[in-house]
A and B are shown apart, each in its own frame.
Chain A
Amino acid sequence: MLSNFGRYLILMYRVFSRPERFRVYFRETVREIENLGLNSIGIVIIISIFIGAVITLQTRYNLESSWIPLYLIGLTARDTILLEFSSTMVGLILAGKVGSNIASEIGHMRITEQIDALEMMGINSASYLILPKIIAAIFFNPFLTIISMVVGIFGGWVAAVVTGALSSADYIYGIQYWFVPFYITYALVKTVFYAFIITSVSAYYGYHVQGGALEVGRASTKGVVYSSILILLCDVILTQLMLA
């Protein structure tokens, strides 16, 4: 455990040492934005729309027959999505998708000696392979979170209208009622931390693979599991620091 953490820090030190050629890194970062970011928009939209709908319906059924005004359902759905869903849930989903992708890609390069080949060319392989992924995710994941917020709130509206759980007017009034802009800042700050965790932790497990295809699979699982745990831990800490 501690030796893992030590090796992780050493790797991060190498990742953040001065890049060889800025132009090449820029090109790689753009490629990773497409690979890790743009390719995740679909899954984020699908999941957000459904979770937005479910949150709205569940809130509605929990408040059945009570005296609470219906527009508060819109407010609850909005705050759940802004505070927790679009950052943490989306973070966990990306840990699964992006994390396993990174760990298996880098792990495959390790066992086929492509990382050694980079080192032999005089390239800092850790920095070349990992830095563009970290930067791409830190830059692009906030957009994914914002997309998720918009789509999730829209999903809640669709559910409300289609099932007749509450009226469009109530929902729209609710999602504007008592709006705290800071919640968005809070969610985006969390997203940036999560982006760093997902990319660096899964890259760490991929980079240190030893053996064959089986170990690459294991590294990919470990990358996902540990990024997820760290995301949740980070969630607790940041919530305490920012909202308490």
Chain B
Amino acid sequence: MIVVEDISKSFGSETVLKNISVTFEKGKTNLIIGRSGSGKTVLMKSVVGLHEVDSGAIYFDGRDFVKMGTRQRQELRKEMGMLFQGSALFDSLTVEENVIFPLQMFSDMTEDEKIERVNFCLERVHLENANKLYPGELSGGMKKRVAIARAIVQNPKYLFCDEPNSGLDPKTAIVIDNLISEITHEFDITTIVNTHDMNSVMEIGEKVVFIYEGIKCWEGTKDEILTSDNNYLNDFVFASNLAKRIRDIQAGSQQ
């Protein structure tokens, strides 16, 4: 469980996060939703310390992250996995080398055990026979899978995914979403997913936090989201004509 208490973050004179408090629950996929530029990425990167917050506190299962020194943070980061928007695979390394990388750096496993672990993770994301390929040779969906495998190779307690299905076709997007959700439940991880995609929300949103211009505007479950009377949220949820039509038809049929 990750507890965020009243964090704010500015870049120069631009305040991007304003007094956000939120709890991300263990064993669940916690979604942060909002329009592009609303501050989702900054919020996620602030929680993991890639951005320094200006004020507030962040607790990872009770451990105060903001107060930690560099070494302690590095130790805690070994319990985290992160999936970046552009996958952020290391270009000069093969798929296998990318996934084994954190193990080479920190693990005391033997070489065979490491390979076994890497293959386990690659199989888990349904990516066999790609071990020797380079990131440049992979499709967008395959890159995301490798990135997920790399993120889970150290058995993280916390998993962060920044727009995991951006740039993917809708079908592949759902596959990736479900993969993240399955892994979350299977290994009992505290998972946080940034997205602006309502399909993801409906698919995997066990807990949903809505950010509007750097302010936490609403939180609830994917079922509550459709019936909320929060105007900002409704603007976001029913932004597409398709969604509006469905809502209107539903409203009609209920009368």
Contacts and interface: CB of A to CB of B under 8 A. Distances in A.
Interface string A87-129: 0000000000000000000000000111011011111100000
B18 interface: no
A117 B143 CA distance: 14
Interface stretch (B78-86, B112-120, B178-186, B223-231): B78-86
Contacts of B86: 112-113
Contacts of B218: none
Given A121-B78, A122-B77, A116 B84 contact: yes
A124 B89 CA distance: 17
B106 A114 contact: no
B36 interface: no
A68 B224 CA distance: 97
A225 to B, nearest CB: 26
B50 A122 contact: no
Contacts of B78: 121-122
Given A122-B74, A122-B77, A124-B74, A117 B105 contact: no
B101 interface: yes
B50 A24 contact: no
Contact of A113 (B74, B75, B85, B102): B85
A121 B50 contact: no
Contacts of B106: 20-21, 121-122
Interface string A1-28: 0000000000000000100110010000
B58 interface: no
Contact of B50 (A21, A112, A116): A116
B84 A117 contact: yes
Interface centre among A116, A119, A120, A122 (most CB of B within 10 A): A120
Contacts of A17: 70
Interface in A128-181: none
Contacts of B80: 120
Interface of A: 17, 20-21, 24, 112-114, 116-117, 119-124
Given A121-B102, A122-B74, 7 more contacts: A20-B106, A24-B105, A114-B89, A119-B50, A120-B81, A122-B78, A124-B70
Interface of B: 45, 48, 50, 70, 74-78, 80-82, 84-86, 88-91, 101-102, 104-106, 150, 154, 160
